[in-house]
Amino acid sequence: MTPPSNTVLHNLATQLRIDSVRSTTEAGSGHPTTCLSAAEILAVLFFDELRFDPKDPQHPEADRFVLSKGHAAPILYAAWAAAGAFPREDVLQLRKITSDLEGHPTPRLPFVDVATGSLGQGLAAGVGIALNARRIASDYRTYVLLGDGETAEGSVWEAAQVAAFHQLDNLCAITDVNAFGQSRATQWVHDLEAFAARYRAFGWHTITVDGHDVAALRAAFAESRGMSGRPTMIVAGTLKGKGVALFEDKDSWHGKPLNGAQADAAIAELEAQYVPTSDPDPVIAKPELRRAEGALPDFVAQMPVPDYTLGDLVATREAYGTALASLGALDPRIVALDADVKNSTFSDRFEKVFPERFYQTFIAEQAMIGAAMGLASRGAIAFPSSFACFLERGADFIRMAGISGLNIKLCGSHAGVSIGEDGPSQMALEDLAMARAVPNCTVLYPSDAVCAERLVAVAAATHGPVYIRSSRPKTPVIYGPDEQFPVGGSKVVRHSANDVATVVGAGVTLFEALKAHDLLAKDGIAIRVLDAYSIQPIDVAGLVAAGKATGGRIFTVEDHYSQGGLGDAVSEAVWDQGFRVQRLAVRETPRSGPSDELLERYGISAMAIVRAVKG
């Protein structure tokens, strides 16, 4: 196959510019100038460098491209249209409510792996996509286009160090150094060496080029393909708004489309830049091999039966690690990621059995979650785990994983005041609210080891993002090995015909509710105790039935702040039933101290439940 000529690639870059202007003007919004700076980069990538099939964008062996500077979406769409994925005129559907060509790319489009536009995330996703190539022993390469402005994000450098540590020579990133951000010139303007020096310091191979020189870009990509043991960063100097005199290399044009007359003039100016040629059109190289990993197993049915005895004291974080290792034996798509806490989350149990599918990011939670997103986008089922409070650092990544609908299964351990003496900086008391706010995110909160093991399998079988909250303290096993825990369910663990109230707990507070049940029984007061192990979706029918059976009195007790957690979930579930829901939760910044004392001090202990029920 004969490579396209430089003239053909130049003309394709011009076409991409024209379509970016046309689509943003038609939409009346968008970012044409940031598209125009990247035109040659996209032209060379799509029509000379990448191996892919425009009619089969999810081909498992195809090279991958992540547009980290997601506001340049119009030129991404223009490139896919030019490649033949859809008719060129369809780019005029940009930003319409009836179109999947959204203002920033999302996986509603089959050629988008991860949603981008929240800047600083694309490189971490690219790390995960590159790691997945290793997982499946594929030679596909991963390319990421970053803007120079987003390089200020710390998550970029987290991803850079992870990529270097894992020696991802199948990863090539490009920084479009067009020198202007949204409100002003960027940090290093057109100083390409400032970018290159930083990436070299992080262990990357770096190349600086004129980003509008087609021949130089082709040579840079060829050099990156020959690199061994290091990822490559191509630092490309460009001009924002290249090719249109009205806004080329000028400030204050970010996110401003041209009006009709301006667009007509700009298109005429760009059309004049076509170079007449009889050279043949480019032929996109397609992957030669197609392999499929097959259907997923029934994780819930095939997981080993939990091996515990009633009354055993086991922390749910430990049961998580046991289950993760068992799950890994069922399918090679199960992968685990860690941020240097594997011996506390017990994910090291997976590492000991499947070290080739265990990815260390060190203390870089954003990079860990971003890499999990990239892995999941290519078919892996990714389990990143850390302390729950540290996962909150990656809240924006979790939000974008929700938008992408990716199969990442986060486990946050050491949550709540029950961790004890470590103090408030370590006590995730906001994590349930964070996870519940993500659309289509399943939120699970096991109380004992059997429930924890079962919910790990349930998480793997559940499509989309899942958050599992595990606990530090050891809790007694209360469920038999054959108990099942479907998403959206709950368990009534104490009940009688004389129950005067329902107490809903989850995790450690379920055991406080059970203690309260026994204390109240001594005074002749019967309560129903419900384990809300599935917080999102929550068991509406089960809660309504319990409320009706107990006179409409429901108490929730949670090791979490009052906002956004279990109490809010229960209240939303039964709001139209006329029930009274009283929420016991942590309502002030806690202190360090023994776990039992903290539960009492902050009103979520067994005695606090007794006082509330009697009150």
**Amino acid at position 277, single letter:** T
**Rounded Cα distance, 71 and 87, in Å:** 22
Helix (H, G, I), strand (E, B) or coil at 199: helix
Known catalytic residue at 293: no
Q: What is the widest separation between alpha-carbon atoms in the chain? A: 95
Q: Quick one: tokens of 493?
A: 């663990």
Do residues 121 and 402 make contact, with C-beta atoms less than 8 angstroms apart? Answer: no
**Dihedral angle computed from the Cα positions of residues 542, 548, 551 and 554, in that order, rounded to the nearest 10 degrees:** 30
Active-site residue identified among 365, 430, 453, 512: 365
Neighbours of 259 (CB within 10 A): 10
Q: How many CA atoms lie within 13 A of 246 on its CB side?
A: 20
Do residues 73 and 274 make contact, with C-beta atoms less than 8 angstroms apart? Answer: no
Q: Which residues contact 162 (CB under 8 A, 6 or more apart)?
A: 124, 127, 361, 362, 364, 367, 371
Q: Smallest Cα–Cα separation from 138: which of 69, 24, 60?
A: 60
**Dihedral angle computed from the Cα positions of residues 153, 119, 156 and 351, in that order, rounded to the nearest 10 degrees:** 120
Q: Smallest Cα–Cα separation from 335: which of 412, 256, 407?
A: 407
**Amino acid at position 366, single letter:** Q
Q: How many CA atoms lie within 13 A of 578 on its CB side?
A: 3
Q: Quick one: tokens of 328?
A: 């890994």
Q: What does residue 255 show for φ and ψ, rounded to 5 degrees?
A: 70, 25
Cα four-point dihedral sign 473, 479, 482, 485: negative
Q: Quick one: tokens of 341?
A: 């806490």
Question: What does R_g of the chain's alpha carbons equal in angstroms?
Answer: 27
Q: Active-site positions?
A: 365
